[in-house]
A and B are shown apart, each in its own frame.
Chain A
């Protein structure tokens, strides 16, 4: 008797068999998934592409169409992206965004990391804020209550992280310090902040703080929200960094000590580089969370991307098409978060290869 031919090990059929139809439960799930896709995709395609209204169009044209109304985005995209920033000056936030993307592009290369890059970031952030504010070099002054949309979201995120991250390292070190006062202070701070939601911090900054200041003295509203975001994310980042610190074996500390390194030298040259490498997934997680959390500032009436979109759809002519608006900003959020998560995966493999060597 000749044995039945062995199942193929290569090719599409083999892949399908191994991955999608390996046993009956997988087969059922695969078929179910296919069924749902077949049911969901064509209507979605019809709505979003085939029957959609593209380019500039009258709201009445959209009303008559059965598909999505991308004309709404066409009409309102500048309000959504830049909020109430003066219309004629919106090239400035746009240029700022380009600058930011270039800086992020440069920073993706690990070999470029160093003091130089940090300086470049400092300069870029300063240039960005200068561009937004104006008031020099012939740029008209734009008070920050007019900032809005994507630039505001990114400013809150990037500046929040740029300040919170170093702060969190000190907090993490402080929490593990041998000096009781510092340890207790850091601990109280971290636990207090972690014990309240970001939204209540924003409420405090936005509602309570002004009441304790004399009438007429007011701290800039964007700054108040920014400080709340920094304080909040620093506490969370500190815990992520502490996780990294605890993963470093005691031998590393002792070895650094034996070499005659001071506390700060040991932290800087030996402990922190390893600890932060370990903590990268957790840190990026917090970065992504923070980027999305900035949309909470809409509660205190800062026109971030989300609130700018809501303002755009408050127009009764276009408010029937709010789904399109939400899809549009969801895409923006997705692109940024997806990039961050992919980049953190890349970093992880980079660091792991270092350890395996």
Chain B
């Protein structure tokens, strides 16, 4: 049940003994919430409230984190901003609800938030049995390993018998065990409750290997390691962690809006529409851009929004690439691999807006 309480490990809140509670609660919710909500209900509520209630992480650098003045920044937070701009015309009309890993699904099911934009891994169990539905992928993550360079290890297959620092109560721990078992190797887990503790232990040589999501590893290299060149991230990625927004089941209109918001941001990047040039692009002769920006066709209206929905979103936060560069690059994660556009060999692919 607590299958992929994934990148949340970075908050160090995941607690093993609580997962039992969570199971119980979720089991309850599935029963209680079979078939609530009819179409358009969430959108109506959002418009009436004049604010999108967005469930975010309680603090994860690059995705959702309160800066020194208390403003939310990060990729997940910016997605909420884009959605608020598209639906309500103002990116500031977001009520951020920080949620712990244990809380997030119940909060969504109970209608306390309109969506989760909270580094949540898309899995079959969650999609099929929790009364909720994933609307897309905004970030492809995966679990990796980091070792000190002077260990001389080139590949995770050489890690037999290693002491591995890992956060407890997460699927990081399970993936780790799966990987070593599948490769017929032994390892000694050194488990920790909080991120700071585990990182300090690794940097002080308490264990030879550190494992978490690659985004987390990059952040550790960039901000915690006294000398980043002393460590290497091994090439293997041992799990798939597609992260994206989640909505409640039963309101297809809202689901569609949330889904196409993701696509619109990606499409904007593909077509070179940026925060800076979106006004100029309104005059573009490219029919794809015209449809995206609402200068021809009625894509917005089909979603139940104004035709300027994508323009408003791009004006608020920029396209997907800009969101990524602004939030994820600074934590030390260059845009490589799956997170690039499909035209650059990545997996970021927008369905046609027509």
Contacts and interface: CB of A to CB of B under 8 A. Distances in A.
Given A143-B95, A211-B106, A301-B98, A63 B112 contact: no
Interface stretch (B60-68, B162-170, B260-268, B295-303): B60-68
B68 A211 contact: no
Nearest to B67: A315
Interface string B58-87: 111110011111111000000000000000
11 contacts: A63-B226, A79-B67, A200-B21, A210-B110, A211-B110, A221-B112, A299-B13, A310-B11, A314-B11, A317-B223, A320-B224
B112 A210 contact: yes
A146 B332 CA distance: 30
Interface string A287-303: 00000000000011101
Most chain B CB within a 10 A radius of its CB, from A216, A303, A313: A216
B97 interface: yes
B226 A215 contact: no
Contacts of B45: 216
B69 A316 contact: no
Interface stretch (B24-32, B119-127, B180-188, B239-247): B24-32
Nearest to A318: B223
Contacts of A143: 95
Contacts of A303: 98
B32 A315 contact: no
Given A203-B21, A211-B28, A300 B103 contact: yes
B196 A145 contact: no
A83 interface: yes
A84 B224 CA distance: 25
Q: 6 closest pairs, A vs B, by CB?
A: A314-B59, A210-B110, A316-B223, A84-B70, A215-B111, A87-B69
Contacts of B61: 314-316, 319
Contacts of B29: 211
A84 to B, nearest CB: 4
Contact of A319 (B95, B111, B224): B224
A300 B97 CA distance: 11
Contacts of B112: 210, 218, 221
B67 A145 contact: no
Contacts of A65: none
A319 B70 contact: no
Most buried by B among A86, A216, A316: A316
B111 A216 contact: yes
A313 B12 CA distance: 12
Contacts of A312: 66, 68
Interface of A: 63, 75-76, 78-79, 82-87, 143, 145-146, 200, 203, 206-208, 210-213, 215-216, 218, 221, 299-301, 303, 307, 310-317, 319-320, 322
Given A79-B70, A210-B112, A218-B112, A299 B100 contact: yes
A64 B58 CA distance: 29
Contact of B100 (A82, A301, A316): A301
Contacts of A210: 106-107, 110-112
A320 B223 contact: yes
Nearest to A320: B224
Contacts of B32: 211-212
Contacts of A75: 68
A269 B95 CA distance: 51
B68 A76 contact: yes
Contact of A314 (B65, B70, B103): B65
Nearest to A76: B68
Contacts of A86: 70
B190 interface: no
Contact of A211 (B100, B103, B109, B332): B109
Nearest to A299: B100
B59 A215 contact: no
Interface in B242-291: none
A213 B99 CA distance: 19
A143 B51 CA distance: 12
Contacts of A85: 70
Contact of A218 (B59, B100, B111, B331): B111
A16 B111 CA distance: 67
B36 interface: yes
Nearest to A88: B69
A207 B106 contact: yes
A198 to B, nearest CB: 14
